[in-house]
A and B are shown apart, each in its own frame.
Chain A
Amino acid sequence: DQQVKQNSPSLSVQEGRISILNCDYTNSMFDYFLWYKKYPAEGPTFLISISSIKDKNEDGRFTVFLNKSAKHLSLHIVPSQPGDSAVYFCAASVTDSWGKLQFGAGTQVVVTP
């Protein structure tokens, strides 16, 4: 039962342009959402999070948007840089179960010069 879905397995974007990664969830109990970045042979690295009481959270080049009614969140990376090439995972949890994350399948981002 895939409660968190990332329907785009890959995304190619030019350096300097915007990367938009999408994530959908089915469990309405989720109230905390996170994005992680993962390089090969490394563990996931936390990027940014958002609580369900907000609809936007920004941290430097990264912005996460949450649309609760649509059960959809997105990650915007502006501007995209070659070092952003990695797999990006969307994850969700319930506040009472911190760290018990449900992960999406990931989106491979390739930033080209």
Chain B
Amino acid sequence: DSGVTQTPKHLITATGQRVTLRCSPRSGDLSVYWYQQSLDQGLQFLIQYYNGEERAKGNILERFSAQQFPDLHSELNLSSLELGDSALYFCASSPGYGEAFFGQGTRLTVV
């Protein structure tokens, strides 16, 4: 158990819809990262938050957004969903340096 909690574990939704994925980082970790793993793209960095502030951005679509709340949990919002958004979405956390610890992921299926 990495200490990073992601909910829900599975999500099935229709194209055009909007979903919110939730992540609770390890106790004491200030940084939260979101990654997407799809079959053809592998693990791709999406975005990082550190203590509530956006720190780094990767290949995140404009239809996607994230935030980190004062209690340090984070949410990833995916809107206008397309079939190609079906993937595993991982959250990871770290104290701000060193290795990142990953949650078990949310499997999103867009039908």
Contact = CB atoms under 8 A, between A and B. Distances in A.
Interface of A: 34, 36, 41-46, 49, 89, 91, 97-106
B2 A45 contact: yes
B16 interface: no
12 contacts: A36-B102, A41-B104, A43-B2, A43-B92, A45-B2, A97-B56, A98-B31, A98-B96, A98-B97, A99-B31, A101-B45, A104-B42
Contact of B99 (A41, A49, A102, A106): A49
Nearest to A101: B45
Contact of A106 (B42, B100, B101, B102): B42
B4 interface: yes
What are the 7 tightest A-B residue pairs by CB atom distance, in nearest-first order?
Answer: A43-B102, A103-B43, A99-B100, A46-B99, A99-B33, A44-B102, A98-B97
Given A45-B102, A89-B43, A99 B48 contact: yes
Nearest to B44: A103
A89 B35 CA distance: 14
A45 B100 CA distance: 9
B8 interface: no
Interface string B73-111: 000000000000000001010101111111111000000
B46 to A, nearest CB: 10
A44 B56 contact: no
Nearest to A2: B42
Residue among A42, A97, A100 with the highest chain B CB neighbour number at 10 A: A100
Contacts of A102: 45
